Structure 1
Amino acid sequence: MNVKLTDAAREAGVGYGTASRAISGRGSVDAATRDKVLAAAEKLGYRTNAMARALRENKTRTVGLIVPGIINKFYTESATVLQDELDKSGYQLVVSTTGNDAEKERRAIESMLNRQVDAVVHAPVNPQAKFPKGFKVVELNRRSDLNRPTVTSDDATGLKELALHILDQGYRDIGIIVGPAELSTARDRKAGFINALETEATQRGIREELRFRVVHSRYSPTGGYEAFAEFRNDLPQIVVPLSTQLTLGVLKATQENGIKISDDLALACYGVAEWLAVWGPGITVFAPDLPAMGAAAATQVLTLLDAAPLPENHLSIPGQLIVRGTTPKV
């Protein structure tokens, strides 16, 4: 039996338009009516004809997500919320990864365009990565040089709070590990953290006491491990890797070299992972709000798909400083 939407509407006792809005998730329908329509559709075995709908709307009802990797919790948490929010509006997520490689990114973009996705949520590698003119793109976590709509973490505020905490605890010799200089996340985190350190140290009259060293590396445990070698023969009081992946590498390096956190070396970092709370005495961290970033990216892209103006082109989502046992007072 070929069940039609009109059958589901009749079973639920509503009009065709109401049933259509309830099943598509687009438009205003109260929760009780939506539940009634969905129950009727399930009872009758009604299924939407996605291909016919796409042809009518001239849309594929898919959104691309291009990120460095799906193992990194930074992107899996955001992607999960992004998919949930898009699903409510009848869109599916198509994911491609770049491994932070510009050539892989170019191929990922080409693949998304060949699939005729309606829009892309993108964590840029190449700051000049190109899409066709007028194509709908929202940048997540990172920003390009092309002034596209973006959703990023408010790292400036969060890293300022982290810097103040480190100075409050008495640390003056600080080792900083950041990602590749060509990525906006690395540049922004480095600038925000160092500016906060220098400004606050000047205000406190301790600028001459402040010493910090910065090492750039790949966003990976191997990158963190290799970067820590720069400090091994001249340990700072505290090391601050500005990503969770970098932190994993630092922990491996300190373990191999018999360096005890927090006795020999204090540690604070940037990122989100459950193990940060349970490793040793717990690691002090500035944690971006990844679910909120994913939800904001969904809102941005759905607004673009509706051809509506964005209230704000660039959204900066607050995170949280979480103080734990790896930053004891000096």
Structure 2
Amino acid sequence: MDKQTVTIYDVAREAKVSMATVSRVVNGNANVKAETKEKVNAVIAKLGYRPNAVARGLASRRTTTIGVVIPDVTNHYFAELARGIDDVAAMYHYQIILANSDESNTKEIQVMENLLGKQVDGIVFMGNILNDDIRDEFKKADVPVVLAGLLDEYEEQPSVNIEYRSAMSDATTRLLQAGHTKIAFVTGDLDHYMNKAHKLLGYQDALAAYDVAYDEKLVFQGTYDYQSGYQLAQEIKDSEATAAIVANDEMAAGVINGLTDAGVNVPDDFEIITGNDSKVAVITRPQLSSITQPIYDIGAVAMRMLTKLMNHEELAVNNIVLPHGYVDRGSTKHDNM
């Protein structure tokens, strides 16, 4: 018999039990005699029956699937977040449907609609921006949504993050203490809430504490990728900045390589601190000093929150803030501190 065509009916007939009994065995229901369970499992092994997870989910009104929206599957930061989500999902026997949104508003809406069409039980949403169109999709969804590494301006959605403002302030302070007064701030679109209302403010807090005037000419906006950082490197050099805080590791890798190719020595002539401490931070030469954040844990905690919401449990805290730190590497001078 072709394994693809084996049905629950075939198993029931061969084992001489009801289809309900086969279903109980497959779903791990304890209310089945041990000898019956052995007999049914033997037939399942013999016929090579593979229960359909979606059909099984529909029968129990649970699809056992989680939708995970990721803005860029190639970005190490989001890939590490997804790994934390997947590990906790596996622990609770949920399957993951990973959907790449390309950081595009249109694609994000399409991805949300596709996931809801697949009757997912919940969604973990990652990204760099949360706008009204996406909020409307969340409201239309009849499943819980948790944000991972993304802030909701109105705090309507549960979320897991670090304290981005103080992290940026701490990193900028390190460069100010090293004697820098012209520090570039390199980030994505400043229309994004996380950038304008948290990361940029942290940078400005540190400048104000050291009586250094904020200069818009030292703020550089790009996209969250290597090429964007590389292209900005010449502008950063021309600005006469002597150091930079870069919000994203892939951008920072582009900046450090772009400056090196332009004849700037890092860290002797120019110091750089990046924002995520993903794997990218240690594959550049020199390696990147970085704000540290528990990337894997952000994903894992977000997924655990989602399992609680799907079970209609109340969350003790709606917006969880995990601790950040700092690691000193080759892109800053070690005699600074």
Identify whether the pair has TM-score above 0.5, normalized to the shorter chain: yes
Query: Structure 2-normalised TM-score?
Result: 0.79
Q: Is residue 2:305 matched to residue 1:291?
A: no
Return the match for 2:240 from 235, 241, 263: 235
Gaps (5+ residues) in structure 2? 1-9, 16-21
Q: Is residue 2:164 matched to residue 1:155?
A: yes
Gaps (5+ residues) in structure 1? 20-36, 202-206
Q: Is residue 2:126 matched to residue 1:123?
A: yes
> How far apart are the structure 1 equivalents of 2:42 and 2:272?
54
Judged with a 3 Å threshold, the aligned counterparts in structure 2 of structure 1 residues 50 and 192 are, in CA distance, closer, same or farther, namely same
Aligned-residue offset at 1:272: 2.4
Aligned-residue offset at 1:42: 9.9
Aligned residues with identical type, % of pairs = 19
> How far apart are the structure 2 equivalents of 1:149 and 1:142?
10
Q: Which residue of 1 aligns with 2:97?
A: 94
Matches for 1:137-152 after TM superposition, within 5 Å = 137-146=145-154, 147-152=156-161
Deviates more, 1:88-97 or 1:121-130: 121-130
- Contact 1:174–1:211 (Cα < 8 Å) also in 2: no
Deviates more, 1:59-68 or 1:151-160: 151-160
1:93-150 deviation per Cα after TM superposition (whole angstroms, max 9, x unaligned) = 1011111111111111111111111111112444221221543111111124452111
Q: Is residue 2:233 matched to residue 1:225?
A: no
Q: Which residue of 2 aligns with 1:216?
A: 221
Structure 1 counterpart of 2:125, which letter? H
Instruction: Report the number of matched residues.
Output: 301
Matches for 1:283-322 after TM superposition, within 5 Å = 283-322=288-327
- Contact 2:248–2:275 (Cα < 8 Å) also in 1: yes
1:300-329 deviation per Cα after TM superposition (whole angstroms, max 9, x unaligned) = 110110011111111111122001232225
Return the match for 2:194 from 185, 193, 202: 185
Return the match for 1:260 from 255, 259, 265: 265
- Contact 1:283–1:324 (Cα < 8 Å) also in 2: yes
Aligned-residue offset at 1:57: 2.7
Q: Is residue 2:65 matched to residue 1:55?
A: no
1:199-241 deviation per Cα after TM superposition (whole angstroms, max 9, x unaligned) = 3x1xxxxx15776721111111222123333322232111221
> How far apart are the structure 1 equivalents of 2:200 and 2:32?
52
Judged with a 3 Å threshold, the aligned counterparts in structure 2 of structure 1 residues 83 and 42 are, in CA distance, closer, same or farther, namely farther
- Contact 1:243–1:269 (Cα < 8 Å) also in 2: yes
- Contact 1:127–1:145 (Cα < 8 Å) also in 2: no
Return the match for 1:81 from 61, 80, 84: 84
> How far apart are the structure 2 equivalents of 1:211 and 1:252?
25
SS of the equivalent of 1:139 reads strand
Return the match for 1:323 from 324, 328, 331: 328
SS of the equivalent of 1:229 reads helix
Q: Which residue of 2 aligns with 1:29?
A: none
- Contact 1:142–1:184 (Cα < 8 Å) also in 2: no
Structure 1 counterpart of 2:101, which letter? T
Matches for 1:31-42 after TM superposition, within 5 Å = none
> How far apart are the structure 1 equivalents of 2:290 and 2:62?
42
Aligned-residue offset at 1:7: 6.5
Deviates more, 1:72-81 or 1:179-188: 179-188
Structure 2 counterpart of 1:198, which letter? A
Structure 2 counterpart of 1:189, which letter? K
Deviates more, 1:305-314 or 1:118-127: 118-127
> How far apart are the structure 2 equivalents of 1:88 and 1:126?
29
Judged with a 3 Å threshold, the aligned counterparts in structure 2 of structure 1 residues 276 and 51 are, in CA distance, closer, same or farther, namely closer
Aligned-residue offset at 1:66: 0.7
Aligned-residue offset at 1:266: 1.3
Supply the RMSD in Å over aligned alpha carbons.
Answer: 3.0
Greater C-alpha Rg: 2
- Contact 1:228–1:253 (Cα < 8 Å) also in 2: yes
